[in-house]
Structure 1
Amino acid sequence: MSMRAAIVIGATGLTGSSLVEQLCENDEYVSVTIIARRKPIFTHPKLEVKIRDFDRIEEKDIEFAHELYCCLGTTIKKAGSREVFEKVDFEYPLAIASLAKKRGIPHFLVITAMGANENSPFYYNRVKGKLEHDLVELGLQRLSIIRPSLLVGDRDEFRLGEKAGEKLLKFAQPLLIGPFKRSRAIEASQVAKAMIIIALYGKKQPVTIYPSNELATLQYPEIPEEDASRETLFHWDKLEEGEKVNRDVIINRDKFKMEETVIDKEVHFQHREQGKK
């Protein structure tokens, strides 16, 4: 088991909330910190919540972690203006990535969009493309760009346009084959799962772009189970004395270290006397 720490930005959205839950349930992680503008509903012993105003976020707000997951995103309709939209989808992620670089965080994972291109005729894709370009120029140690198609899942809010698009893509799903396969709608929970898989097992190169069709197929690698022999399992006399004690594992969140407290407890077995049931 690893002892990883993760930071999640945009943890209260559709993908971000699923990502936080999956990180907390993953044995590789001992610490998950979210930086958000409002408190999430989800709670967990591994989880630490920092309520911050993204306009005033500072380097000290971002502690060291192995990965920083950025799931920030909104719509122009919800933002109310292009200016606010660009602040959430471009300025905040770029500023946070810069702080992550200063703090020595080795891996930055960010959700953009399928079709992200700074030269796109579509404003939304242009903003996402500009973000990707500037993140690459920032020279992060490792950058993973996540490009999902239409995200589906249970949202806290109702978005008419996305619901209509979801129904249309669901109807057209069997027809989207070959190069059109990347346009298929994708579950937000699968995107979150794919991001963790990329963090743990993905390509180690400086910049990697993951299209939606690849995200949809990512699964955890199968780990073969150890074949414990009956002799190892049942011959207690052959085990060393130190292997018989019970161990309580304590997680030191501040240092991300694993410490063990050995509790001397004798293990007693009750044997039935012969002839008694």
Structure 2
Amino acid sequence: MKKTAIILGATGLTGSIILEKLLSDSRYKTIKLFSRKRIKGLPGKVVQFTGNLLELEKFKSDFKADEIFCCIGTTTKKTPDKTLYKKIDLGIPVAAAKLAKENGITTFLVVSTLGANANSRIFYNKIKGEMEKNVLTTKIEKTHIIQPSLIGGNRKEQRILEKIGLFVFKLLQPLFFGKLKKYKITEAKDIAQAMLNLANSTTTEQIIKSEKIKELTLN
């Protein structure tokens, strides 16, 4: 039986790649997108629901699928207000996990970050750590939390300083081996493929470290 997938964050770098992959994957009959605004030019296989994702529970009756791919995330540049930042990066994934549990969705995949720790003094790592902790407490049967390092890829809104930073970081990649291997840039296309492979696997591994993401693209 063909499946239905939900994507949260389909306009972002990783989410947009997952959308492309699901569109061409014959195992999926329907793709549901939940976002603030519609994406134009998508085929009939895609059903779009637009509204305020900070009130995700209002979508409960439509929030039904076999799998959820959660790629929600903001930046301090876009969202300087820490309270709002927390509502997005922590609140939306946790709300999605709770709805998934209530609606009997058994597969939940979410993008976090390397170094996520609920006790961290670093705001970003702390938020992601709290998100992971809360998602796991929902006890969804098949939960996969992806922890990439710095994410590489062609961003629509990539700024000049960000481009320079990624360029310099790429030059340093040959130095990252052994214990430093986990800090290598994680390509968005690899995250997307790893998530898709995980969704269609029997593995029960919950935390996927950055250094294993590339390996999972080969399965």
Task: Report the TM-score range of the alignment, normalised by the length of the smaller protein.
Answer: over 0.9
Seen in structure 2, the aligned counterparts of structure 1 residues 192 and 41 have a Cα distance that, compared at 3 Å, is: farther
| Greater relative CO (CA pairs within 8 A, separation 6+) | 2
In structure 2, stretches of 5+ residues that fail to align are none
Please tell me the residue identity of whatever aligns with 1:210: I
1:212 correspondence with 2:174: no
Task: Using the TM superposition, give the Cα deviation of residue 165 of structure 1 relative to its aligned residue in structure 2, in angstroms.
Answer: 3.0
2:75 is matched with which residue?
A: 75
Deviation digits for residues 113-140 of structure 1, max 9, x if unmatched?
A: 0110111221100110011111112222
Q: When the two structures are aligned, how many residues end up with a matched partner? A: 217
Deviation digits for residues 50-78 of structure 1, max 9, x if unmatched?
A: 11211333211302x11111100011221
Instruction: Determine helix, strand or coil for the equivalent of 2:95.
Output: helix
Conservation of the 8 A alpha-carbon contact between 2:54 and 2:87: no
1:171 is matched with which residue?
A: 171
2:37 is matched with which residue?
A: 38
Please tell me the residue identity of whatever aligns with 2:47: E
Matches of 1:75 and 1:61, distance apart in 2: 28
Task: Using the TM superposition, give the Cα deviation of residue 92 of structure 1 relative to its aligned residue in structure 2, in angstroms.
Answer: 1.1
Please tell me the residue identity of whatever aligns with 2:77: K
2:54 is matched with which residue?
A: 55
Seen in structure 2, the aligned counterparts of structure 1 residues 144 and 171 have a Cα distance that, compared at 3 Å, is: same
Task: Using the TM superposition, give the Cα deviation of residue 162 of structure 1 relative to its aligned residue in structure 2, in angstroms.
Answer: 3.4
Matches of 2:160 and 2:76, distance apart in 1: 13
Matches of 1:91 and 1:50, distance apart in 2: 18
Matches of 1:72 and 1:25, distance apart in 2: 22
In structure 1, stretches of 5+ residues that fail to align are 222-277
The 5 Å alignment of 1:10-29 reads 10-29=9-28
Task: Using the TM superposition, give the Cα deviation of residue 169 of structure 1 relative to its aligned residue in structure 2, in angstroms.
Answer: 1.7
1:85 is matched with which residue?
A: 85
Instruction: Determine helix, strand or coil for the equivalent of 2:200.
Output: helix
Larger radius of gyration: 1
The 5 Å alignment of 1:1-277 reads 2-41=1-40, 43-57=42-56, 58=58, 59-63=60-64, 65-160=65-160, 162-204=162-204, 208-221=206-219
Report % sequence identity: 35
Task: Using the TM superposition, give the Cα deviation of residue 163 of structure 1 relative to its aligned residue in structure 2, in angstroms.
Answer: 2.5
Matches of 2:147 and 2:5, distance apart in 1: 20
Conservation of the 8 A alpha-carbon contact between 1:21 and 1:42: no
Deviation digits for residues 162-214 of structure 1, max 9, x if unmatched?
A: 32331222011111011211111121111111100010125136xx1111111
Matches of 2:217 and 2:145, distance apart in 1: 18
Deviation digits for residues 22-67 of structure 1, max 9, x if unmatched?
A: 011112111111111111245123211111211333211302x111
**Normalization by structure 1: what TM-score?**
0.74
Seen in structure 2, the aligned counterparts of structure 1 residues 107 and 47 have a Cα distance that, compared at 3 Å, is: same
Task: Using the TM superposition, give the Cα deviation of residue 141 of structure 1 relative to its aligned residue in structure 2, in angstroms.
Answer: 1.9
Seen in structure 2, the aligned counterparts of structure 1 residues 220 and 25 have a Cα distance that, compared at 3 Å, is: farther
Which one is further off, 158-167 or 168-177?
158-167
Matches of 2:55 and 2:117, distance apart in 1: 29
Matches of 2:151 and 2:178, distance apart in 1: 20
